[in-house]
Structure 1
Amino acid sequence: MADRQQTGSNRNEQYFAAQPSSSDTRRHLTVNLVGRPTTVEVSNGVFSSSRLDLGTSVLLRHTPEPPTQGNFLDLGCGWGPIALRMAFLRPQATIWAIDSNERALELTRHNAKLNAITNIEAVSADHLPDGLTFDLIWSNPPIRIGKEALHQLLMTYLPRLTDGGAAYLVVQRNLGSDSLITWLQAQLPQNWTVSKYASSKGYRVIEVLHP
């Protein structure tokens, strides 16, 4: 199965384009996010538009139980599977889902409504409240935007973890997960912890802890 960086309905169009040029053709998809079938809508021009991506599945299977409440972030939400799982598990939390792709944000909002979820805020990055910090970050980050852009993205949001907050990132091993761990260890404060949390199906789940 293709990884986050290779999956897409149109290989000539990057899923992180702000305004996809492909037709917005909606399709229903049934996925298992919390031990039961969940119906969502997907479309062209959005990451993993035909199934639940393998990397995302690994992340959802291997992350620990989230806090009971707080501000959670789905960084690079696509059509919303990570945000939806967070919201199902913790209805008292506020789930912030961000993406550069406007169609992805619209789908995430729609899928929340479709599943009677009211605690997801799907917005572009510039609509996040100033000074907002996060108790938890889950992400299948967009490796294909390039190393420099990826590093900038991660260092924009990981430092916004609250004291005691945690982030879990899933990255394919052959696309640099281990070198990313080393890079994050060098970039974040020395009292932070960055380590491999789990491995499955060629992916690493990276844990970042703010003490």
Structure 2
Amino acid sequence: MTQVTIDEALKNAVVRLSAAQSDSPSLDAAVLLCHVLDKPRSYLLTWPDRALTEEQLASFDSLISQRSEGQPIAYIVGEREFWSLPLNVSKSTLIPRPDTERLVEVSLELLGTNSGNVLDLGTGTGAIALAIASERSNVNVWGVDLQPEAVELASKNAKKLAISNAKFLCGSWFEPMKQFIDEKFQLIVSNPPYIDEADPHLLQGDVRFEPVTALVADENGLADIRHIASEAKLYLLPKGWVAFEHGYDQGQPVREILSELGYQNITTEKDYAGNDRVSFGQLEK
């Protein structure tokens, strides 16, 4: 069998991924080959003429085929970095995205240096909860998710990252917290389902492969935000905050929901692309 070098394998993969209309064929190919070789990106640049073994080539070919079919890179390699934390991901959870880091930034600003409790609803991989916990060792973070697989995954991520001030519970929104009725929160944060079921983006890109229950909500995508904002008032400390990630066109309706429910100091922050992305409000008393 003719040996194939790293450089040749990458070039062939880029051709296949380009034909499959990947948005980033060169990057995709490099990430997948690094995964197969268990080497950093610099290795590919340093040793372009190194030959791949038959096993490595077969594994790489399989991964390129999966990516050509549209499978998200994060699901293929089982990991995605978020807030500089390497998180394990699975098809039972959303893939953590850079836009969500704005929600973490806002959360940290709202918390300041105070100690206390934070609740992350719909935690998925635990990305938001673990990012906050990693930055605030004096804060106890609780993460809740409806899917047992997600709770198990988030717990494993916490253990892998040696983050001890975050714990995860299974249930629907606030339901698991009823057993901890005395716990009150300085901040309740959520990246809930907020996409309308008729949104054409559900048929595009990585979203096609992500769990629809973590994406779609009734009332034009606002039902879960409304529910959380309403129930949060029972669990927040006086002057506590509730903060949401939402769609680029939902800033105004989310602010209206918070206003109707009596929250104060309501604000919307933009993501790095200049779109409305995070809205929050403060419990008056």
Q: SS at the partner of 1:74?
A: strand
Counterpart pick for 1:60 among 98, 104, 122: 104
Contact 1:83 1:96 survives alignment (8 Å): yes
Counterpart pick for 2:154 among 102, 108, 119: 108
Q: 1:136 to 1:26 in 2, by over 3 A?
A: farther
Distance between the aligned counterparts of 2:169 and 2:102, measured in 1? Answer: 25
Larger radius of gyration: 2
- Give the percent of matched residue pairs that are identical in Structure 1 and Structure 2: 23
Counterpart pick for 1:127 among 176, 186, 194: 176
**Residues 23-34 of structure 1 mapped to structure 2, 5 A cutoff:** 27-33=77-83
Aligned to 1:195: 267
Q: SS at the partner of 1:172?
A: coil
Aligned to 1:205: 278
Distance between the aligned counterparts of 1:115 and 1:46, measured in 2? Answer: 18
Greater mean deviation of Cα atoms: 152-161 or 113-122 = 152-161
Distance between the aligned counterparts of 2:127 and 2:145, measured in 1? Answer: 13
Q: Normalising by structure 2, what TM-score? A: 0.56
Q: Normalising by structure 1, what TM-score? A: 0.74
Q: Give per-residue Cα distances to partners, 1:159-190, cap 9 Å, x unaligned.
A: 4221121222121222x22112112201226x
Counterpart pick for 1:179 among 218, 235, 253: 253
Question: What is the Cα deviation at residue 141 of structure 1?
Answer: 2.0
Q: 1:152 to 1:30 in 2, by over 3 A?
A: closer
Distance between the aligned counterparts of 1:158 and 1:88, measured in 2? Answer: 26
Aligned to 1:44: 91
Between Structure 1 and Structure 2, the one with more strand by share is 1
Question: What is the Cα deviation at residue 70 of structure 1?
Answer: 0.5
Counterpart pick for 2:188 among 137, 154, 163: 137
Distance between the aligned counterparts of 2:137 and 2:165, measured in 1? Answer: 7
Aligned to 1:75: 121
Distance between the aligned counterparts of 1:117 and 1:42, measured in 2? Answer: 17
**Residues 139-178 of structure 1 mapped to structure 2, 5 A cutoff:** 139-143=190-194, 144-147=216-219, 148-174=223-249, 176-178=250-252
Contact 2:121 2:191 survives alignment (8 Å): yes
Contact 2:193 2:224 survives alignment (8 Å): no
Q: 1:119 to 1:158 in 2, by over 3 A?
A: same
Contact 1:55 1:203 survives alignment (8 Å): no
Question: What is the Cα deviation at residue 26 of structure 1?
Answer: 8.5
Between Structure 1 and Structure 2, the one with more helix by share is 2
Q: SS at the partner of 2:253?
A: helix
- Whichever residue aligns with residue 85 of structure 1, its letter is A
Question: What is the Cα deviation at residue 149 of structure 1?
Answer: 4.2
Structure 1, gaps ≥5 residues long = 1-24
For the aligned residue pairs, the C-alpha RMSD in angstroms reads 2.2
Q: 1:32 to 1:126 in 2, by over 3 A?
A: closer
Contact 1:185 1:193 survives alignment (8 Å): no
Question: What is the Cα deviation at residue 60 of structure 1?
Answer: 2.5
Distance between the aligned counterparts of 1:69 and 1:182, measured in 2? Answer: 30
Distance between the aligned counterparts of 1:44 and 1:195, measured in 2? Answer: 33
Distance between the aligned counterparts of 1:203 and 1:53, measured in 2? Answer: 15
Question: What is the Cα deviation at residue 30 of structure 1?
Answer: 4.5
Between 1 and 2, higher relative CO (CA 8 Å, sep ≥ 6) is seen in 1
Q: Give per-residue Cα distances to partners, 1:128-163, cap 9 Å, x unaligned.
A: 212421111222122122233442233112442211
